[in-house]
């Protein structure tokens, strides 16, 4: 069978006085019958070329699927008096979202059975679940087209009724004010850029909603969230090199948003609230690897910011989590992520211990402000993903869940390590790799090398049960942590 050839139709695209010729611009018309016909030809060609491998494809698919636990559930987390969890049932495609009041021993309350909701739809995505402070109302977003454009609706959990409120063309997420009547949400423009923040009052039509912020600079994206303390509604607007935030008290939904710090080119920052201060992760004063600062809730402009954790050239601050008694900082040094735990009263300051040569760790879901338990995730190329609760007082660990790999998987059969390769300009690039113990590390061994570097996005060394089908056939799998990501800090990006 001959490979199909897409015809060329010259299209001139002019930008900034430069003309670019795109001969295949016509292929972006998804309603064009010629485009659909060409795509069908490509699919038929692919099927014909791969026909000799169909038996292997089936074998690999069944092998990979057999390792996956179909009936599974998330680790419950507690928020405002309820335990929340998500469950998957064997043979069903979609999750079931549920909660239990006060104790995990209490019966389930079904929030959403997405399997039922998705009936009759060829595509269905539910997201942006947001609980009102009174625990009786929940907002959620639905996309049944697969365009990442969601319609927000509201469910009354006391009656099970979906209210008449319908908010179209959103990112799906929404934030409740403290009055249990006001929702803030984000809308998209025709390019799917999030650019407007709107305010909706329960029981009203969308055309009555009030625009509270519009980002007119198309290099910025807008978003809205509630501080972990639940005291503030915060609007953010971010570009590649600049950020700007606005805020109001969550119990004053009709107040006018106040600018935290006006945007300045090359000034990046993010904010979180605790007590009488805002805490700020920022690159202010050329802190290219970021530092942590704080300022009074009354004086938020940058001239009032003071250092909490100063800038360090060898360590990238990736994020922070605030608890009533502790501050947790996510740091990356020499490519490895660490968690620094500091008591507010300065009584303790230490790092979580991680023992593997190459691994991934990240702060997990920690919505409860008043707790001494830090939940974090851990995985490596040989260790299945785990959810771990760490008591920051007595330094004890409890593995709440480790990814189940069905079959004869034994992580002791595999080796992971980190090596360094010299790039053309002399820079040493780290590579995380994994293989079976009986697979030789040699130039003759088949290798699948993956790399991605862009936008500061770091590819972490993570476990994959699918990958075992390669490793068990004598492959080495490697991830090159190339520049463009932030594996070795902001300068690596």
User: Is residue 317 a part of any domain in this protein?
Assistant: no
Q: Say what the pLDDT of residue 70 is.
A: 83
Q: Say what the pLDDT of residue 486 is.
A: 95
User: Is residue 60 a part of any domain in this protein?
Assistant: no
User: Is residue 474 a part of any domain in this protein?
Assistant: yes
Residue 469 predicted with pLDDT over 90: yes
Q: Say what the pLDDT of residue 151 is.
A: 97
- Are residues 187 and 38 part of one domain? no
Last residue of a domain, one of 308, 327, 349: 308
User: Is residue 327 a part of any domain in this protein?
Assistant: no
- Are residues 217 and 86 part of one domain? yes
Residue 91 predicted with pLDDT over 90: no
- Are residues 212 and 137 part of one domain? yes
User: Angle at Cα 109 formed by Cα 370 and Cα 70, nearest 5°?
Assistant: 95
User: Looking at the 3D structure of the chain, how many domains does it have?
Assistant: 3
Residue the block writes with tokens 């003071």: 306
Last residue of a domain, one of 288, 308, 328: 308
User: Is residue 204 a part of any domain in this protein?
Assistant: yes
Question: Starting at the edge strand that comes first in sequence, how are the strands of the sheet with 414-422 ordered?
Answer: 414-422, 428-436, 476-480, 447-451
Q: What is the mean pLDDT of residues 446-458?
A: 95
Give per-residue pLDDT as tens, 395-419. Answer: 999 999 999 999 999 999 999 999 9
Residue 435 predicted with pLDDT over 90: yes
Give per-residue pLDDT as tens, 217-234. Answer: 999 999 999 999 999 999
Residue 252 predicted with pLDDT over 90: yes
Residues 438, 472: Cα–Cα separation, whole Å: 10
- Are residues 26 and 105 part of one domain? no
- Are residues 88 and 224 part of one domain? yes
Query: In this structure, what CATH number is given to the domain that contains residue 266?
Result: 2.130.10.120
Q: How many CA atoms lie within 13 A of 328 on its CB side?
A: 24
Q: What is the mean pLDDT of residues 328-340?
A: 96
Q: Say what the pLDDT of residue 1 is.
A: 87
Percent of the chain, pLDDT > 90?
Answer: 96
User: Is residue 277 a part of any domain in this protein?
Assistant: yes
Percent of the chain, pLDDT > 70?
Answer: 100
Give per-residue pLDDT as tens, 31-74. Answer: 999 999 999 999 999 999 999 999 999 999 999 999 998 888 99
Q: Say what the pLDDT of residue 8 is.
A: 97
Q: Annotate 163-205 with three-state secondary structure.
A: CCCCEEEEEEEEEECCCCCEEEEEEECCCCCEEEEEEEECCCC
User: Is residue 439 a part of any domain in this protein?
Assistant: yes
Name all contacts of 47-54 with Cβ < 8 Å and 24+ positions apart. Answer: 48/1, 49/1
Q: Say what the pLDDT of residue 53 is.
A: 97
- Are residues 40 and 133 part of one domain? no
- Are residues 228 and 169 part of one domain? yes
Residues 196, 190: Cα–Cα separation, whole Å: 12
Q: What is the mean pLDDT of residues 437-442?
A: 96
Last residue of a domain, one of 287, 308, 329: 308
Residues 339, 350: Cα–Cα separation, whole Å: 8
User: Angle at Cα 141 formed by Cα 137 and Cα 144, nearest 5°?
Assistant: 140
Note the pTM of the prediction, 2 decimals. 0.86
Give per-residue pLDDT as tens, 202-219. Answer: 999 999 999 999 999 999
Residues 35, 41: Cα–Cα separation, whole Å: 10
Residues 267, 288: Cα–Cα separation, whole Å: 10
Q: Say what the pLDDT of residue 432 is.
A: 97
- For residue 473, count other CB atoms closer than 10 A to its CB: 11
Question: For residue 209, what are the domain limits?
Answer: 72-308
- Are residues 179 and 32 part of one domain? no
- Are residues 76 and 43 part of one domain? no
- Are residues 204 and 287 part of one domain? yes
User: What is the pLDDT of the chain when averaged over all its residues?
Assistant: 96
Q: Say what the pLDDT of residue 296 is.
A: 97
C-alpha Rg value of the chain to the nearest Å: 25
Residue 355 predicted with pLDDT over 90: no
Query: Which helix (H) or strand (E) segment is 57 a member of?
Result: helix 54-66
User: Is residue 296 a part of any domain in this protein?
Assistant: yes
- Are residues 93 and 17 part of one domain? no
Residue the block writes with tokens 């303790």: 348
Q: What is the mean pLDDT of residues 272-292?
A: 96
Q: How many CA atoms lie within 13 A of 145 on its CB side?
A: 8
Q: Say what the pLDDT of residue 72 is.
A: 87
- Are residues 280 and 183 part of one domain? yes
Residue 83: alpha-carbon gap to chain centroid: 22
Residue 248 predicted with pLDDT over 90: yes
Q: Say what the pLDDT of residue 94 is.
A: 95
């Amino acid at each position: 069978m001959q490979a199909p050839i897409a015809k060329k139709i010259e299209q001139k695209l002019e930008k900034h006085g430069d003309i670019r010729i795109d001969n295949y611009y016509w292929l972006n018309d998804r309603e064009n019958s010629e485009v659909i016909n060409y795509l069908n030809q490509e699919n038929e060609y692919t099927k014909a070329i791969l026909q000799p491998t169909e038996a292997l494809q089936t074998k690999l698919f069944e092998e990979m699927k057999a390792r996956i636990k179909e009936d599974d559930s998330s680790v419950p987390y507690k928020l405002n008096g309820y335990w929340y969890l998500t469950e998957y049932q064997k043979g069903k495609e979609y999750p079931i979202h549920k909660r239990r009041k006060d104790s995990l021993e209490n019966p389930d309350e079904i929030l959403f059975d997405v399997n039922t909701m998705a009936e009759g739809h060829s595509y269905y995505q539910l997201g942006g679940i947001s609980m009102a402070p009174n625990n009786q109302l929940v907002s959620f977003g639905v996309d049944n087209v697969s365009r990442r454009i969601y319609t927000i609706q509201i469910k009354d959990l006391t009656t099970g009724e979906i209210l008449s409120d319908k908010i179209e063309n959103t990112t799906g997420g929404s934030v409740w004010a403290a009055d249990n009547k006001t929702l803030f949400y984000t809308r998209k423009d025709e390019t799917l850029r999030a650019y407007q923040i709107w305010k909706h009052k329960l029981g009203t039509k969308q055309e009555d909603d009030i625009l509270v912020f519009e980002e007119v600079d198309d290099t910025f994206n807008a978003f809205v969230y509630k501080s972990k303390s639940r005291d503030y509604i915060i609007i953010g607007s971010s570009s590649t090199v600049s950020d700007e935030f606005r805020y109001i008290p969550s119990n004053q939904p009709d107040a006018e948003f106040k600018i935290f710090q006006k945007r300045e080119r090359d000034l990046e920052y993010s904010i979180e609230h605790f007590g009488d201060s805002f805490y700020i992760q920022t690159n202010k004063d050329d802190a290219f690897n970021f530092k942590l600062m704080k300022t009074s809730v009354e004086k938020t402009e940058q001239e009032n910011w003071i250092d909490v954790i100063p800038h360090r050239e060898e360590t990238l601050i990736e994020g922070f989590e605030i608890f009533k008694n502790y501050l947790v900082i996510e740091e990356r040094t020499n490519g490895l992520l660490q968690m620094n735990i500091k008591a507010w009263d300065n009584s303790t300051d230490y790092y979580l211990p991680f023992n593997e040569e190459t691994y991934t760790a990240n702060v997990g879901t920690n919505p409860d402000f008043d707790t001494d338990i830090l939940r974090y995730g851990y995985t490596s190329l040989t260790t299945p993903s785990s959810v771990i609760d760490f008591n920051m007082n007595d330094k004890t660990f409890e593995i709440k869940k480790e990814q189940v790999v069905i079959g004869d998987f034994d992580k002791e059969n595999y080796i992971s390590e980190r090596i360094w390769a010299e790039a053309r300009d002399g820079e040493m690039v780290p590579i995380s790799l994994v293989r079976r113990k009986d697979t030789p590390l040699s130039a003759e061994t088949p290798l699948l090398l993956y790399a991605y570097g862009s936008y500061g996005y770091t590819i972490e060394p993570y476990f994959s049960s699918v990958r075992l089908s390669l490793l068990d056939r004598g492959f080495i799998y490697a991830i090159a942590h190339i520049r463009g990501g932030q594996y070795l800090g902001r300068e690596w990006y």
